[in-house]
Amino acid sequence: MLVNFADILKDAEKGNYAVGGFNTPTLETLKAVIDAAQEMNSPVMINHAEGDQCVVDIDVIGPLMIEYAKKATVPVAVHVDHGLTDDFVLRAVRAGFTSIMYDMSAYDFETNVEKTSKFVKIAHSMGVSVEAMINEMPANMPGKGMTIGWNTERTDDIPLSEFFTRPGEAGEFCERTGVDALTVSFGTVHGKYVAKPVLDIQRLTEIKAKTPNTSLVMHGGSGVDANQVRDAISHGVKKINYYTAMTTAPAPEILKTIEGSKDPIYFENIAQMGYEIMKEKCMEAIKVFLNKD
Ligand code: 13P
């Protein structure tokens, strides 16, 4: 069933688990995520990032996402990931997306507050929930290729801690904007980790203390070990974005199949393999996010 993310995040706060936010720019990822969530009996968020507009337009994938959400046996929020322009996020609202990440993190703090507050008023008047972010979080996504508005390869050597969210700023931002959820940075990056990620749980605890009425979101869930993910959930994170590990999982298996085959390779068989492998990865992630054992 199609739901608003404020509702599923409220339940996650009560139940001390996190809802996975998975990007679904292809039919195979969309089916994989919905089927994984149904099999795990877990609520889920399906995301379309503005950066993936060059993979597929929201006019094409949006109605499919909404249709799959409506038909699902579990609660599904249809969400914009990293909405960078007003034009795009308003298109998403009109298309029926139930939540938007309005990402004005490239702007300075005051401009971000001003833009986000205005957007929250519009979105809330239409029953749409809003996630926001302060301070840009680095990305390291070699091989991603097609993307819009993102610097996908990390070439600087600035320590990751320089990007960590400052608790006082987080508190002030949430109070002044009224956002439903805030993406916080305390040790993750988008994409591939160069060194094993170490989450700063003390920092997360301090952020949570300043943002008691806002759900906290961790981006860059791929590659963080299960114990650290569970620790983050127990200290305030209730939505986790996860994509790279899922979307890069099929390639090695597909390569083996292609190399081992003397027959012509039918693309639909490759696509089906991709679906099955991504569904498994998604189920693995959801199992950790449910935070049960
Ligand atoms: P990963 O691809 O690193 O898992 O991050 C996904 C994400 O945060 C999308 O916003």
**Closest to 162 measured CA to CA, from 193, 131, 190, 200:** 200
pLDDT at 162: 84
Which amino acid type is present at position 64?
Answer: L
CA atoms of 278 and 271, how far apart (whole Å): 11
> What are the residues whose beta carbons fall under 8 Å from the beta carbon of 167, sequence distance 6 or more?
203, 206, 207, 209, 210
Confidence of residue 152 (pLDDT cuts 50, 70, 90): low
Query: Residue 140: helix, strand or coil by DSSP?
Result: strand
Q: Which two tokens stand for residue 145?
A: 């290729």
> In the predicted model, is pLDDT for residue 254 greater than 90?
yes
Helix (H, G, I), strand (E, B) or coil at 12: helix
Residue 15, annotated as binding a ligand? no
What radius of gyration, in Å, describes the C-alpha atoms of the chain? 18
Segment 55-99, tens digit of pLDDT: 999 999 999 999 999 999 999 999 999 999 999 999 999 999 999
Give the pocket of ligand 1 (CB within 6 Å).
Answer: 23, 81-82, 190-191, 219-222, 241-244
- The residue whose C-alpha atom lies closest to atom 8 belonging to ligand 1 is 219
Instruction: Report how far residue 207's alpha carbon sits from residue 185's, in angstroms, rounded to the nearest whole number.
Output: 10
Cα–Cα distance, 169 to 293 (Å, whole number): 34
User: Domains along the chain?
Assistant: 5-289 (3.20.20.70)
Tokens 């980790």 belong to: 193
Please check if 79 is assigned to a binding site.
Answer: no
